[in-house]
Amino acid sequence: MARTASLSGFPEWLPQERLVELHVLDTLRKTFELHGFSSIETRAVETVGQLLRKGEIDKEVYGLSRLQDDEAPDASTLDKHDPHALALHFDLTVPFARYVVENAGYLAFPFRRYQIQKVWRGERPQEGRAREFTQADIDVVGDGELPFRYDVEIALVIAEALSALPIPDFRLRINNRKLAEGFYRGIGLTDTAGVLRSIDKLEKIGAAKVAELLKSELGASDEQAALALQLASIRTEDTSFVAQVRALGVSDDLLEEGLSELEQVIEAAVHRAPGKVIADLSIARGLDYYTGTVVETVLVGHEQLGSICSGGRYDALASKGNRTFPGVGLSIGVTRLVSRILSQELATASRSVPTAVLVALNDDQSWSAAQDVAAQLRGRGIATEVAAKAEKFGKQIKFADRRGIPFVWFTDDDGKHQVKDIRSGEQVDADPASWAPSAEDLHVRVTTT
């Protein structure tokens, strides 16, 4: 991780680091599939109009065009505001919404999907923020309606998935937009979206500056700003937040609906994922399409990294005629997680290559026989390479050691086989039809350090 990248914001891993990333991806995939989520992949490119339908992040979107376009040879004449222009997707939620609309006739609802893909975002590169990165999303989408119980389930699935990764302890910080918007409405602040955007800046600029924003940009009184900040200060590991909110003396039907929904999520988490979820009423999520549950996740002791998993409920992101497709989903920042795992040496791969065995050559004529041995081992799931040159055995062993291969296979002129563990020096008789390494050596293992 100490090397210098030739192009910042586009991380590339060394082979041993990539094995750690693959372990993270495989773990997430297995967990998602255990809960019945189907894998999809959407195209990397969307139209600008599609990408910018919700939210205001156009400055982060990478446009896409040919270097030489017959219709527009002068790149400076390209219209950046053309809704039909092409751009790389900046998240997986917006492309997924389009996918649902276009394939609604072929999907069984509620549709449970997971998606692990690259995304691109024109941000200033720093630790935890890259311009090209991998996300892992899960969503449940309904046709016309989606029971709230899926909000609870999504949070529990993510808690299980993150618990299986080689990462520090984490907390899912959960709020509800209905709760927040109902509260703001109840104290007389009608621009609830504006209040949410201001509250979303709380951790970056502090309470005093947020109060000034509320007063200068949204016309809040001192009392209204104070109440909004009091709400945002509430954090509990159980359902006691309900009483704390009611103690603020604000009444609103939407507020009550949000309180009830958040209470259900936290109550289930206390039972099924104890210590992993907290009610945090400062969580706002800046994007406009969230309508209910909202989530951000931090690593304990690594809070400065930012959220490593976020998302929530959206009731109107996707629609087709008079049909709407409400959904709830969460997105894990895989690259952000892997970057922290590697930079802090939180986990390491047991070796740098998948190969468990190198078949050595006695002479150049033995290469074909060595391939036969390798084929037998591979046929039983043992990753095997064959030496390329019949060098002295000491050099072939050093080659295996340099590659990180733990075993070297020898066959003498009489056809007798032996395998050497080059870590311990132990060498034993072996049969390519039956020998196998220990379970620990069969595959690369990723362990916490």
Query: In angstroms, how far is CA 383 from the centroid of its own chain?
Result: 29
340 touches 307 (CB < 8 A): no
**pLDDT value at residue 125:** 85
256 touches 182 (CB < 8 A): yes
**What is the number of other CB atoms lying within 10 angstroms of the CB of residue 417?**
17
Overall number of domains in the chain: 3
Two structure tokens written together for 365: 């004529």
Q: Does 26 carry a binding-site annotation? A: no
Instruction: Answer yes or no: do 70 and 117 share one domain.
Output: no
Query: In angstroms, how far is CA 226 from the centroid of its own chain?
Result: 35
Instruction: Answer yes or no: do 224 and 312 share one domain.
Output: yes
**pLDDT value at residue 77:** 43
CA distance 356 to 377: 10
Instruction: Answer yes or no: do 369 and 411 share one domain.
Output: yes
**pLDDT value at residue 355:** 97
Instruction: Answer yes or no: do 54 and 145 share one domain.
Output: no
229 touches 210 (CB < 8 A): yes
Q: Does 402 carry a binding-site annotation? A: no
Closest listed residue to residue 140, CA positions, set 326, 333, 331, 272: 326
118 touches 134 (CB < 8 A): yes
**pLDDT value at residue 76:** 46
Q: Does 289 carry a binding-site annotation? A: yes
Instruction: Answer yes or no: do 76 and 140 share one domain.
Output: no
CATH number at residue 226: 3.30.930.10
User: Does any domain span residue 7?
Assistant: no
CA angle 432, 436, 439 (to 5 degrees): 165
**pLDDT value at residue 129:** 85
Q: Does 351 carry a binding-site annotation? A: no
- How many residues are present in the chain? 449
Which secondary-structure segment (H or E) carries 50? Answer: helix 48-51
What totals of helices (H) and strands (E) does the chain contain, helices first? 15, 21
**pLDDT value at residue 82:** 84
* 390 phi and psi angles, rounded to 5 deg: -85, 65
CATH number at residue 409: 3.40.50.800
User: Does any domain span residue 2?
Assistant: no
Cα within 13 Å of Cα(14), Cβ side:
12
CA distance 90 to 117: 11
User: Does any domain span residue 1?
Assistant: no
Residue finishing a domain among 304, 328, 348: 348
User: Does any domain span residue 5?
Assistant: no
pTM of the model: 0.90
162 touches 275 (CB < 8 A): no
Tell me the torsion sign for CA atoms 360, 362, 364, 369: negative
Q: Packing angle between helix 207-218 and helix 192-199, nearest 10 degrees?
A: 160
Q: Packing angle between helix 192-199 and helix 177-186, nearest 10 degrees?
A: 120
Instruction: Answer yes or no: do 125 and 21 share one domain.
Output: yes
Domain that holds residue 425: 357-448
36: left (phi over 0), alpha (psi -120 to 50) or beta: left
226: left (phi over 0), alpha (psi -120 to 50) or beta: alpha
Pairing of strands 427-429, 417-421: antiparallel
Question: Omega into 147 within 30° of 0, i.e. cis?
Answer: no
Instruction: Answer yes or no: do 290 and 368 share one domain.
Output: no
User: Does any domain span residue 8?
Assistant: no
Instruction: Answer yes or no: do 72 and 102 share one domain.
Output: no
CA distance 180 to 194: 12
DSSP readout, 396-429? Answer: HHHHHHHHT--EEEEE-TTS-EEEEETTT--EEE
**What is the number of other CB atoms lying within 10 angstroms of the CB of residue 235?**
16
* 82 phi and psi angles, rounded to 5 deg: -70, 115
| Per-residue pLDDT tens digits of the chain, which is 449 residues long | 546 678 889 999 999 999 999 999 999 999 999 999 999 999 999 998 888 875 555 668 898 888 876 655 454 444 567 888 899 999 999 899 999 999 999 999 999 999 999 999 988 888 778 999 999 999 999 999 999 999 999 999 999 999 999 999 999 999 999 999 999 999 999 999 899 889 989 988 999 999 999 999 999 999 999 999 999 999 999 999 999 999 999 999 999 999 999 999 999 999 999 999 999 999 987 667 789 999 999 999 999 999 999 999 999 878 888 999 999 999 999 999 999 999 999 999 999 999 999 999 999 999 999 999 999 999 999 999 999 999 999 999 999 999 999 999 999 988 999 999 999 999 999 999 999 999 999 999 998 87
Instruction: Answer yes or no: do 270 and 211 share one domain.
Output: yes
Closest listed residue to residue 41, CA positions, set 95, 104, 82: 95
Q: Does 403 carry a binding-site annotation? A: no
Label each residue of 3-17 as H, E or C.
Answer: CCCCCCCCCCCCHHH
234 touches 245 (CB < 8 A): yes
DSSP bridge pairs for 129: 126
User: Does any domain span residue 139?
Assistant: yes
Cα within 13 Å of Cα(148), Cβ side:
16
